Amino acid sequence: MPSRGSAYRAEGNPTLRTVCAHCGKSIPTEVGHAHPLDVDLRRETWGLVGYHAALKTVFATCTACHDTGWQPPEFERGN
């Protein structure tokens, strides 16, 4: 029976996690769509691009903050 994630992916390895740039919630470092075995899982991490100290930066954001419309400083929307 297929199981969720593996030791080489963030779901199966607690050391492969980061925190949401807005609320501080622990989220996987993987940004993207779920693995084919995990099709029922919703994307948990969103990489939003903004600026920090005048440098373009990717801000890891949880689904809850993304869904409420939070944007990093000087947010740039992709084409």
Q: What is the residue type of 42?
A: R
Higher pLDDT, 48 or 13: 48
Q: How far is CA 22 from the centre of its chain?
A: 12
- pTM, two decimals, is 0.69
Question: Among all chains, which residue has been given the structure tokens 């029976």?
Answer: 1
Confidence of residue 10 (pLDDT cuts 50, 70, 90): low
Domain residue spans of the chain: 1-79
| Average pLDDT, integer, range 16-38 | 80
Q: What is the residue type of 6?
A: S
Give the phi and the psi of residue 65 in degrees, each rounded to 5.
-70, -40
